[in-house]
Amino acid sequence: MPKRDHAGPPSELDVSRRGFLKGAGAALSSGIVAGAEALEAANRAAAKIIGPGKTPVTLKINGVNKALNIEPRVTLLDALRDELELTGAKRVCDRSSCGACTVIVSGKSVYACSMLAIEAQGKNIETVEGLSVAGKLHPLQQAFVDNDAQQCGYCTPGFVMACKAFLDKNPNPTIEQVRKGLGGNLCRCGTYVGVAEAVLQTAGKKGGRANA
C-alpha cells in the first residue's frame, strides 16, 4: 500500500488518538507503544484535565466561529456531523484507515475521526461544505463530476478534501505523485481512475474521462 500523506497536526495535549483516551487502544504493538507515550503525555498535562462533562468549545469552520457545548471525548468528526450538521465528512472506519472523514486543519488533510474537537480549537478547519462558493462548484469538484469520480459517493467528500490538500501542496503533480499522495483514502465502488483524472484535470493536465 502506498505511503499515506495524512498527518495529524501537533496537538496541545500530544494525544491525537482518541481511541487511546477511550481505552480502546489498537491491537498493534506500535499502537501500544504510542499509547504508553500518550499516557505519559496525558499525565504531564494532568493539570489541564477537562470534562468528562460537557464543556464549551469554539471551532472555526470554513472561516466562521461556531460555539458548541460538548463532552471532551467528542471527535471533530462527530462534532461536525452531529452538532453542526456538516455531514459531508463521513464516519466509515472510525480509526484513521479510510479517509472518508478527511477535512483540512491548518492547511493539512486530517482524519477528523481521530482528532478530538477540543484539539481543533483555534485552528482553521476547512470542510467540503466550504469548498463551493455561492453554489458554484470548486474546479476540483467540477473535475470530479466531469470524470465520474464518484459512484455511491460516500468516500467522495473525504477524497475531495484530500485531493484539495494534495493539490495545494503539489499544484503540478505527475500521475505517480497522485498515486502515492492519495493513498490515504479508500473507495469501495472503485472510482480511483476518475479521481486521478480529476486531480490531473484540476492541475490543468487532462481529464481523460470527461465528456467526449
Partner 1 sequence: MPKYEWPEKSKRAVLGRRISKSDSPDKVSGRAKYASDVKRPGQLYAKFLRCPHAHAKVVSIDVSAAERMPGVKAVKICEKKGPGSEILWALDEVVGVVAVDERTAEDALQKIVVKYEKLPHLVNEQDLAGAGDRAKPAAEQVTGDPDKAFQEAEVVIEGDYGIPVITHCCLESHGQVVEWEGDNLTVYPSTQNVSGLVGQFAQPLKIPASNVKIRMDHVGGGFGSKFSPDSWGVESAHLSKQAGGKPVKTFLERDAELFVAGVRPSHFARIKLGAKKDGTVTAWEHHSWSTGGPTGGGMAPLPYVLSVPNSRKKHTAVATNTGPQRAWRAPNHPQACWLTFAALDDMAAKLNMDSLDFYLKNIQLAGERADLYRRELLKAAELIEWKKKWHPRGDPAPGHLKRGLGLGFHTWGGRGHASEARLTINPDGSVSVDIGTQDLGVGTRTVIAMVAAETLGLPVSAIKVNIGRAPDYPVSGGSGGSTTVGGVSAATRRAGQNALEELFAKVAPALSAQPSELEAVGGKVQMRDNPAKNLPWRQATARLGVTPLVVSGKNAAAASAADGKLTDQGVGGVQMADVTVDIETGIVKMNKFVAVQDCGLIINEKTAESQVLGSMIMGVCYSLFEERVMDEVTGRPLNANMEFYKLAGIGDIGDFVVHMWKDDPEQDARGVIGLGEPPVIAPGAAIGNAVANAIGVRVPQAPFTPARVLAALEKKGGLSS
- Omega before residue 56 within 30° of 0, cis: no
Output 10 or 190, the one with its CB closest to partner 1: 190
In the complex, the smallest distance separating the C-beta of residue 111 from partner 1, rounded to whole angstroms, is 12
Q: Which amino acid is at 74?
A: V
Output 16 or 191, the one with its CB closest to partner 1: 191
| DSSP classification of residue 2 | P
- Beta strands 108-111 and 102-105: pairing type? antiparallel
Counting Cβ atoms within 10 Å, is residue 30 exposed (0-12), middle (13-18) or buried (19+)?
A: exposed
Q: Which amino acid is at 198?
A: A
In the complex, the smallest distance separating the C-beta of residue 44 from partner 1, rounded to whole angstroms, is 26
In the complex, the smallest distance separating the C-beta of residue 8 from partner 1, rounded to whole angstroms, is 16
Output 22 or 122, the one with its CB closest to partner 1: 22
In the complex, the smallest distance separating the C-beta of residue 189 from partner 1, rounded to whole angstroms, is 5
| DSSP classification of residue 63 | T
Binding interface with partner 1 (CB under 8 A): 1-2, 26, 28, 71, 73-74, 78, 81-82, 85-95, 97-98, 100, 127-129, 131-132, 137, 141, 144-146, 148-157, 160, 178-180, 182-196, 209, 211-212
- What would the grid cell of residue 212 be? 467526449
Output 26 or 42, the one with its CB closest to partner 1: 26
Output 10 or 61, the one with its CB closest to partner 1: 61
Residue 160 belongs to what H/E stretch? helix 156-169
In the complex, the smallest distance separating the C-beta of residue 1 from partner 1, rounded to whole angstroms, is 6
Q: Which residues contact 178 (CB under 8 A, 6 or more apart)?
A: 166, 196, 199, 200
